[in-house]
Structure formats: C-alpha cells, structure tokens
Structure 1
Amino acid sequence: MGFFTKPQEGTSAGALAPLTSERIRARLDDRDAQYGVDDDGDIGGYWDGHLFYFFLLGQSSEYLQIRGRWNRAVSIEQLGAVTGLVNAWNAEKLWPKLYARAEDDVVGVYAEHTVDYEHGVSDEQIDLHIACAIATSGQAFDTLDESFPAEAALARAEFERE
C-alpha cells in the first residue's frame, strides 16, 4: 500500500472510533466545561472571554475544527497592524492558524486548529486537540492583547459584568 493509498473497503486501519459531536461533548463534560449546542448542532462556549466553536467538517464529518474568536473591538483603521501581528504569528508558530478580517467597523481575528480524523480518533486525541486548540489560541490572543491593551481591558471588564 502506498503512502497516499487508502485501505481497501472492508479492511481495518485500526480500532479507532469515528469522530462524533457526542464524543466531543463527552470530552468537554469530563473537563467540566461550560458550553452549549446551537440549532445547527454546533458546540460552542467561552474560554477566557473568547468564543470557541467545535465544528465537524467534511463529507463524513471527519475533520474537527476548533475555531476561536478574539473578543476585542479593535477599529477597522487598525486592520493593517492586526494583520501584521497575525502574519508574524503564522510565520513563527505551528498552530493555531490565525486570520484577520474586516467586520463592519471592527477587525475580527480568528484562530483555527483543524485535524483530519478520517481513520478514527481516540478519546485521548480528542482531548489533546481541545486542549491544544484552546491553549494555543489563548496564547495568540494574549499576544494580540499586548499590542492592544486598552481594547483588552475594556473587553475583559465587559465580559466580567455579564
């Protein structure tokens, strides 16, 4: 079998179970995480004031993408500065992938960590994926906060009031 050849139908690539939203929720429950499920079945919650979603993507829902949004209101005039910081992060770090985009009058910054689990996944791998995505996204968001301390302080105060 070649490196890029899939196992033939009926053969086993291992004893790993398929990725499901139920398994993701079980891992979050084991961590006592606070989260919800929206009308589309997407799982989401807040970590350190930043919204994270857990998406199952692909034809067979074999990709787990954890996407976080930096919860800061940085004016659109700062898009160039934010994009420079995001590009520097992406050039120096393996994950998460960051991107910035204009959203009306503010800059939205997103962190994504996506893994293909086509051949199945263990509970430990799901747990590691969750921990890695949230921790490294938090590090990226903290790095951005250092460049925008006023926006970070304002967002933290607003989040704590809620």
Structure 2
Amino acid sequence: MTIDPSSIPNFGGQPEPQPQGPAGPVVPDQDLVKQLLDQMELKYVVDEEGDLAAPWEQFRTYFMFRGEADQQIFSVRTFYDRAHKIDEKPQLLESVDDWNRRTLWPKVYTHTHDDGTVRLIGEAQMLIGMGVSLEHFVSSTVSWVRAAIEFDKWLVEQLGLEQEVNDADKPEDDE
C-alpha cells in the first residue's frame, strides 16, 4: 500500500487533498508511517526500542504500535523537553486542563521526575487492529502532528515563555 503524495495535508493552511488508496480498511504499520513522514518532509529516527521518533527543537514525537493483532493500538506520543519546576506544577495543571477541555488532541498530562522537574507529555491513540481507512489514518496522524506543534506554541503563550524561547534562539556572546 502506498500513499498518494498529493494526499498529504500541508501545514500551510491550504485545503487538504483526499488520499487515494485502497477502498477497504488497511492495518497501518511502521513502513506506512515512515512513508507518511517522508512525504510530510519530516526527519525521523528509529530508537533502540524500534519506535519511530520525529525530533523537533523543544520536543520529540513518537509513532508507536502496541498490543496484539485485533487489539493493536497506534499511538502518537509527544515528549516536551522543557523542564518546569515542581512549584510550577499547579499552573501547568491548570493550563493542561484548559487545553484538554478545548481540544480533542493531543491529551496532555504531566510527569514528575525523581529530580523534581516536571515535563509534559501529549498523546493521541487509534485502535487499528481490525483495520482503518487509509484516509482516516493519514488525516488523523497529520492532525495529531500539527496539534503537538500547536500545543507547544500555545503553552509558550499561556505561560509567557516567549522571552525564554527568544533567548534560546540567540547565539551566545564570545566575550
């Protein structure tokens, strides 16, 4: 099974073409996701556990298949790298709750590490074991990637982190 390149939604706000593929359900696999990422012109790696990961500057998005045959789940999980202090967790939870109420995906939650830092994780899942339409799989995966990017931008605005982001983008002085 292949994905028609004209079927890949772009990130520029143009109308989304419809995928041309098999008429019946398909069971997506890692090769299909690689093909989709290639056509979206996104770089990716395969980690030591065999999962696909697309790295961005402030986060990594993983494309994972879990479960057995007819109960298999496709999960798109984004790990946001920005570390927050434990005393910021109430504000983070308030922001994450607001995001989760307003949007369908990714659903975002906090993870507190042993060192007391708090990081955010976003996740969307689809049951694929019995097959799904290629159009549904492609449009959902692309939408989830877009939403993961949008969440990071939204959080920066919500928490007033623009200066921190701008500072990180500036080259260091060699004085």
Same fold (TM over 0.5): yes
Matched positions, count = 145
Partner of 1:39: 48
Q: Which runs of 5+ in 2 are unaligned?
A: 1-22
Judge conservation of contact 1:27–1:123 (CA < 8 Å) in 2. Answer: no
In structure 2, what residue type is equivalent to 1:135?
Answer: R
Partner of 1:106: 117
Offset at residue 157 of structure 1 (A): 5.5
In structure 2, what residue type is equivalent to 1:17?
Answer: V
Offset at residue 32 of structure 1 (A): 2.0
In structure 2, what residue type is equivalent to 1:114?
Answer: Q
For 1:55-94, what aligned pairs fall within 5 Å after superposition? 55-60=64-69, 62-94=72-104
In structure 1, what residue type is equivalent to 2:148?
Answer: S
| Structure in which a larger fraction of residues adopt strand | 1
Identical columns (%): 23
- Rounded Cα–Cα distance in structure 2 between residues aligned with 1:107 and 1:157: 25
Q: Which runs of 5+ in 1 are unaligned?
A: 1-13
Q: TM-score, normalised by structure 1?
A: 0.78
Partner of 2:135: 124
Deviations 1:87-134 (A, max 9, x none): 111122221101012122321101111111222134433321221111
Deviations 1:29-54 (A, max 9, x none): 22221001112210001235321001
Q: Which runs of 4+ in 1 moved over 4 A?
A: 154-158
The CA RMSD measured in Å over matched residues stands at 2.2
Q: Which range moves more in the overlay, 124-133 or 36-45?
A: 124-133
Partner of 1:22: 31
- Rounded Cα–Cα distance in structure 2 between residues aligned with 1:81 and 1:108: 13
One of 148, 152, 155 as aligned partner of 2:165: 152
Could you say what secondary structure the match of 1:110 adopts?
strand
Q: Does residue 1:96 correspond to 2:99, yes or no?
A: no
Could you say what secondary structure the match of 1:74 adopts?
coil
Q: TM-score, normalised by structure 2?
A: 0.73
